[in-house]
């Protein structure tokens, strides 16, 4: 019992780091997509730690660049992830990055009918499409979030080190609640140093929703799974910790005052 608790605590630490890393990587990938689209459409993008501002007027199609890039990266990472066999801290961090890439794009789609000034809302408005399409886009975004939440359950359970974490509903709920919900709470706090910047508070305001798909992960835990526990010892994911710190420092040093990018 003591070893089980120690292993679960170690997985929680790794999962919290992975959540924070996934949040930061997904946000920066989203902003990279905005920068790329802004450059292609002559919008003169200015890159901040938590947002991208277009200095020049022009087509709002550029605001779709972030969504397109994170969803493409999510699919690419999903293909790579399926080929792995070890369930260590690094793989757990990669899983979180993949989930957050999807979450970043899908949550943006879900917001369309509720926030006409969002990137996805402005991009769709530029096409002069019927307003009812906004709700269709939101339904697709919501369906995608439910989907990744349900699929995340067996993916997380494969990191379990003890049969007791898999054999009962209570065991699965405790395990996923620890590596999922508790990691969401702590990981969100670890990502705050990047998101607490002057200017648009949008990135911070969306943070409480960053793990909403995990509610469906918890629901999926009620279903029994034929998964064998991984017997490898749990080690701290130092790589995730170093990369998270590096990304936050680089963003703070080079992007705090805005980085104007032009061709």
Maximum Cα–Cα distance across the chain? 62
Instruction: Reduce the DSSP state of residue 220 to 3 states and report it.
Output: helix
Q: Is the dihedral of CA 152, 20, 10, 240 positive or negative?
A: positive
Helices and strands: H and E segment counts in the chain: 10, 3
CA distance linking residue 225 with residue 8, whole number of Å: 19
Backbone dihedral angles phi then psi of residue 126, each to the nearest 5 degrees: -70, -15
| Per-residue confidence band for 60, with pLDDT thresholds at 50, 70 and 90 | very high
Tell me: pLDDT of 200 over 60: no
The enclosing H or E element of 260 equals strand 259-260
Mean pLDDT for 13-28 is 95
Mean pLDDT for 235-259 is 91
Instruction: Reduce the DSSP state of residue 54 to 3 states and report it.
Output: strand
- Cα three-residue angle 202-208-224, rounded to 5 degrees: 140
Mean pLDDT for 104-113 is 94
Going by C-beta distance under 8 Å and a sequence separation of 6 or more, which residues neighbour residue 16?
A: 182, 183, 186, 187, 190
Instruction: Reduce the DSSP state of residue 222 to 3 states and report it.
Output: coil
Tell me: pLDDT of 107 over 90: yes
CA distance linking residue 223 with residue 33, whole number of Å: 37
The enclosing H or E element of 12 equals helix 2-40
Residues in the chain: 263
| Per-residue confidence band for 230, with pLDDT thresholds at 50, 70 and 90 | confident
| Per-residue confidence band for 197, with pLDDT thresholds at 50, 70 and 90 | low
pTM summary value? 0.93
In this predicted model, which residue has the larger pLDDT, 93 or 200? 93
């Amino acid at each position: 019992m003591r070893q089980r608790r120690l292993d679960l605590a170690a997985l929680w630490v790794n999962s919290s780091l992975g959540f924070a890393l996934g949040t930061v990587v997904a946000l920066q990938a989203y902003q990279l997509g905005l920068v790329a689209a802004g450059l292609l459409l002559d919008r003169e993008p200015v890159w901040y730690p938590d947002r991208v501002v277009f200095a020049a007027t022009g087509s709002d199609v550029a605001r779709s660049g972030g969504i397109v890039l994170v969803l493409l990266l999510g699919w690419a990472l999903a293909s790579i992830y399926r080929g792995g066999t070890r369930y260590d801290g690094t793989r757990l961090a990669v899983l979180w990055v993949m989930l957050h890439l999807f979450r970043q794009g899908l949550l943006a789609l879900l917001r369309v009918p509720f926030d006409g000034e969002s990137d996805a809302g402005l991009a769709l408005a530029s096409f002069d499409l019927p307003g009812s399409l906004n709700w269709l886009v939101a339904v697709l975004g919501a369906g995608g979030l439910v989907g990744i939440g349900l699929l995340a359950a067996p993916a997380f359970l494969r990191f379990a080190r003890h049969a007791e974490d898999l054999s009962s509903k209570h065991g699965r709920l405790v395990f996923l609640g620890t590596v999922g919900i508790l990691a969401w709470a702590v990981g969100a706090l670890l990502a705050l140093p990047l998101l607490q910047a002057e200017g648009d508070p949008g990135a911070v305001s969306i943070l409480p929703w960053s793990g909403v798909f995990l509610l469906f992960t918890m629901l999926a835990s009620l279903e029994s799974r034929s998964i064998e526990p991984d017997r490898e010892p749990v080690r701290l994911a130092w790589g995730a910790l170093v990369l998270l710190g590096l990304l936050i420092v680089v963003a703070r040093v080079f992007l705090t005052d805005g980085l104007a990018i032009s061709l």
